[in-house]
Structure 1
Amino acid sequence: MDNQAFEMHGENLRSASHGKQWPQKEERKGGWSLMKVFLVCLLACVITTAIGVLILSLVYVNNPPFVRDTDGGDKGASSSNPEEKSVDVKFQFLNHLGKSKVYTYPGGEIQWARFRNDVNEYLSDEEMAFGKSINNHRSKMTFGTLRIKSKGLRAPHWHFNANEHGYLLQGTAWVGVIGPDDSVVTTYNVTAGQVIFFPRNTVHWIKNVGPDECLFLLFFTTHEELQTLDVDDAFFSTPEDIAARALQPQGGVNFIRTFKKQAEDQAVNLPSNLNELVQNATYVQSPDNLVWQYFYDLKGSAEYPFPGGIFQWARYRINGTGLNETERIFSESLNKHENTLTLATLRIFSNGLGQPHFHFNANEMGYVISGCAQVGVILSGVTASFNIGIGDVIFFPVGTQHYIKSVCDEDLLLILAYSTGNQLETLRMKDYFRRTADHILAQLFFKQQAEFKNFP
């Protein structure tokens, strides 16, 4: 549509040049009125733009660029927004634990490969992809490393929503477990290569009793945020009079008031004046029938060789034939508690292969202790291949076909956990190929039936 106002103004200007002259004062007045309107509109646009840029800047600062999806859903490896960073699909199955945040305490430190409710706690897109993957697949698994300095103590605590399985990689520790019957306290010593087990909601502690640092590799049976309560936090959250009536110390509530809460988190505790506080420490070993409910000597257990490597297992077995009495106690303890794990060490010789296979009844998570390897993962609609090295965490959802090939001069050694307290059920590629009829394979692969005789 034509602008009629502009045409009328134009006629007035033309008539002024051929006829009667308009007063100069009135012309300036009309011109300045239009100019004022224009300047006011321009100023409003500038102010609005500046406010918009400021708001976007604040949003960007408070929400790092890798935090994109806060609803917990899995959007896949690609993004519809070309400006967003695309995360390699391999990070659904791989976590470089060495790049994660180190939680430091007076007596040691902890690192995590886990799901987080607050996406701002992830340090990278890759870490978030792994955390969301183990949660979306309902893996019932979380992994962490626990380092305890000499004389350090992982404070007595319990987990609301997970059993805990640990493998001691180095050092010597004294462990305590308080079961549901408060008259039964089980304590035992553990050394490198041995497994510890703490059922959900059992109070337990770990004390480093050797000269060297302890390093535990820990698996927890939850894909949600791990929920833990330390005994000191429980104590200081209890009203003084209630604690006095429950504990009944000499001096009553006045004695309770002498306890002072530390300013920093004491999850791994090591007071600077420890020698003044403790003069006589004893480390008692409970009877075997109690200890083996929560302990297994994985390093000293039977070896199960396969072409290219060796397995050792800490697991439940339906048929207990061949198990000694202590091994049978551990096997039955795993099966008795809900949502426990099967643990194993896997050694693959240099250039050896853990052939393609999948598990019917368990997710799998592992930590690389030594060596390096190539890993392949295939699940519905997703294929990934990547290299792993010392300190990496891997994850294979239930039913996912995967393989591991050692590619270093040294052997590959992993600690593996499977999300089942029952006997692990596995099927290997060579087995399902051999057990499929030749004429079915011929039709599937467009090859002569006789050619499938080439497989042994």
Structure 2
Amino acid sequence: MRLQPPPETAGKEVEPKFQFLNHLPKSKVFKYPGGEIQWARFRNDAREYQSAEELEFGKSLNHHHSKMTFGTLLIKSKGLRAPHWHFNANEHGYLLKPAGGVDFIRTFQKQREDQAVNLPANLKELVQNATYVQSPEELVWQYFYDLQGSEEFPFPGGIFQWARYRRNGTGLSQTERIFSESLNKHENTLTLATLRIFSNGLGQPHFHFNANEMGYVISGCGQVGVTLSGVTANFNIGIGDVIFFPVGTQHYIKSVCDEDLLLLLAYSTGNQLETLRMRDYFHGTADHILAQLFFKKQEEFQKFPK
């Protein structure tokens, strides 16, 4: 079935950038007794989209088989997100206010084998009782990772921190190794990262060969450039915006204001992420080939610092 825009936006021309950009704060707020949720996602019923721009983003996620949905979840003070299941997705979460996060994860109890579709036996306790038996360490760290406290990986324009699978576990702590292996043994899991780009810094153009990428702006402001199959888009991003880069898309992110740009990034792979950065591409490709690709003289590429 072909998706049509909501009636009030019919005939409105949509800029190409909305294939890659979603203004999440403008989306519909879904309230529940304990809080509220907003979504950047594909919807089967196009009438559920708030705008033609939101529709364009949802169609892009689906067209590129991203297997990704992004949402923000607000749980009110002493509120509860009731126990639930997702039948067609794994879920990863990032706590913007992480205090107490691991203590909450420790309260999870192992389900019985026959509880894949039934309510858990301890449902009443989960909802009404705030004190639970503490789970063992090896169980906790399959589902929880201290990303904020993890190793920093600097680059000329900023810093990465990763919650990911690594083929070579050398140097990982026991808890990091448990989480890494947990990601890899389940199908369709994600790689998560935080990216801090210093004021006026640049995350250089690059590609991901084995993953789609989604990002959420936590603080700061920036500019994004995307090139994919004849579509080129450059646009500004701010707090609350969601960005999407299909697999193989050349893209860059730049900080354009006085404060650092901080993003949460998710990649659609539970394997080790495969990335080619433009600097490595230029250094690894012969000068005469670069000259032919970019219609330049060979001597110009020989001036690049190695």
TM-score scaled by structure 1?
0.61
Give 1:283 deviation, angstroms.
Answer: 4.2
Matching of residue 95 in structure 1 with residue 22 in structure 2: yes
Work out the CA distance in 2 between the residues paired with 1:453 and 1:166.
45
The one of 28, 32, 36 equivalent to 1:109 is: 36
Work out the CA distance in 1 between the residues paired with 2:50 and 2:262.
27
Work out the CA distance in 1 between the residues paired with 2:202 and 2:264.
16
Say which SS state the counterpart of residue 167 (structure 1) adopts.
coil
Give 1:177 deviation, angstroms.
Answer: 4.3
Contact kept, 8 Å, 2:161 with 2:194, in 1: the verdict is yes
The verdict on how the C-alpha distance between 1:157 and 1:447 changes in structure 2, with shifts beyond 3 A counting, is closer
Q: Which residue of 1 aligns with 2:52?
A: 125
Say which SS state the counterpart of residue 138 (structure 2) adopts.
helix
Q: Which residue of 2 aligns with 1:361?
A: 210
The one of 146, 157, 165 equivalent to 2:73 is: 146
Quick one: which amino acid aligns to residue 338 of structure 1? E
Matching of residue 344 in structure 1 with residue 287 in structure 2: no
Give 1:179 deviation, angstroms.
Answer: 5.1
Superimposed CA distance per residue, residues 289-328 of structure 1 (whole angstroms, 9 cap, x where no aligned partner): 1101111000111000000100000000000000011110
Give 1:440 deviation, angstroms.
Answer: 1.8
Q: Which residue of 2 aligns with 1:48?
A: none
Contact kept, 8 Å, 1:95 with 1:394, in 2: the verdict is yes
Contact kept, 8 Å, 1:348 with 1:354, in 2: the verdict is yes
Give 1:442 deviation, angstroms.
Answer: 2.7
Contact kept, 8 Å, 1:295 with 1:330, in 2: the verdict is yes
Say which SS state the counterpart of residue 295 (structure 1) adopts.
coil
Quick one: which amino acid aligns to residue 114 of structure 1? R
Give 1:447 deviation, angstroms.
Answer: 3.5
Say which SS state the counterpart of residue 361 (structure 1) adopts.
coil
Say which SS state the counterpart of residue 139 (structure 1) adopts.
coil
Q: Which residue of 1 aligns with 2:7?
A: 64
Matching of residue 166 in structure 1 with residue 109 in structure 2: no
Q: Which residue of 2 aligns with 1:206?
A: none
Work out the CA distance in 2 between the residues paired with 1:412 and 1:285.
37
The verdict on how the C-alpha distance between 1:441 and 1:155 changes in structure 2, with shifts beyond 3 A counting, is same
More helix by share: 1
Quick one: which amino acid aligns to residue 130 of structure 1? F
Say which SS state the counterpart of residue 439 (structure 1) adopts.
helix
Give 1:107 deviation, angstroms.
Answer: 1.2
Kindly name which structure, 1 or 2, has the bigger radius of gyration based on alpha carbons. 1
Work out the CA distance in 2 between the residues paired with 1:308 and 1:283.
44
Superimposed CA distance per residue, residues 162-191 of structure 1 (whole angstroms, 9 cap, x where no aligned partner): 0000000025452454556459xxxxxxxx
Work out the CA distance in 2 between the residues paired with 1:446 and 1:415.
37
The verdict on how the C-alpha distance between 1:154 and 1:88 changes in structure 2, with shifts beyond 3 A counting, is same
Task: Map 1:203-218; keep pairs closer than 5 Å.
Answer: none
Quick one: which amino acid aligns to residue 158 of structure 2? G
Superimposed CA distance per residue, residues 178-220 of structure 1 (whole angstroms, 9 cap, x where no aligned partner): 556459xxxxxxxxxxxxxxxxx978xxxxxxxxxxxxxxxxx
Quick one: which amino acid aligns to residue 397 of structure 1? P
Quick one: which amino acid aligns to residue 320 of structure 1? G
Work out the CA distance in 1 between the residues paired with 2:298 and 2:247.
32
The verdict on how the C-alpha distance between 1:149 and 1:202 changes in structure 2, with shifts beyond 3 A counting, is farther
Quick one: which amino acid aligns to residue 157 of structure 2? G
Alignment coverage as a number of residue pairs? 294
Contact kept, 8 Å, 1:115 with 1:132, in 2: the verdict is yes
Give 1:65 deviation, angstroms.
Answer: 3.7
Work out the CA distance in 1 between the residues paired with 2:27 and 2:296.
49
The verdict on how the C-alpha distance between 1:376 and 1:121 changes in structure 2, with shifts beyond 3 A counting, is same
Work out the CA distance in 2 between the residues paired with 1:148 and 1:94.
25
The verdict on how the C-alpha distance between 1:392 and 1:446 changes in structure 2, with shifts beyond 3 A counting, is closer
Work out the CA distance in 1 between the residues paired with 2:208 and 2:89.
22
Contact kept, 8 Å, 1:358 with 1:427, in 2: the verdict is yes
The verdict on how the C-alpha distance between 1:287 and 1:130 changes in structure 2, with shifts beyond 3 A counting, is same
Q: Which residue of 2 aligns with 1:398?
A: 247
Quick one: which amino acid aligns to residue 64 of structure 1? P
Give 1:287 deviation, angstroms.
Answer: 1.7
Between 141-150 and 427-436, report the one with greater CA deviation.
427-436
Contact kept, 8 Å, 1:113 with 1:131, in 2: the verdict is yes
Say which SS state the counterpart of residue 95 (structure 2) adopts.
strand
Q: Which residue of 2 aligns with 1:375?
A: 224
The one of 238, 245, 248 equivalent to 1:389 is: 238
TM-score scaled by structure 2?
0.90
The verdict on how the C-alpha distance between 1:319 and 1:88 changes in structure 2, with shifts beyond 3 A counting, is same
Work out the CA distance in 2 between the residues paired with 1:445 and 1:332.
42
Structure 2 unmatched runs, 5+:
1-5
Contact kept, 8 Å, 1:177 with 1:202, in 2: the verdict is no
Contact kept, 8 Å, 1:178 with 1:202, in 2: the verdict is no
Superimposed CA distance per residue, residues 388-416 of structure 1 (whole angstroms, 9 cap, x where no aligned partner): 00000000000000000000101000000
Contact kept, 8 Å, 2:226 with 2:250, in 1: the verdict is yes
Quick one: which amino acid aligns to residue 9 of structure 2? F
Quick one: which amino acid aligns to residue 145 of structure 1? T
Contact kept, 8 Å, 1:159 with 1:202, in 2: the verdict is no
Say which SS state the counterpart of residue 354 (structure 1) adopts.
strand
Contact kept, 8 Å, 1:353 with 1:404, in 2: the verdict is yes
Superimposed CA distance per residue, residues 43-94 of structure 1 (whole angstroms, 9 cap, x where no aligned partner): xxxxxxxxxxxxxxxxxxxx61435xxxxxxxxxxxxxxxx21100000000
Percent of aligned positions that are identical: 78
Q: Which residue of 2 aligns with 1:291?
A: 140
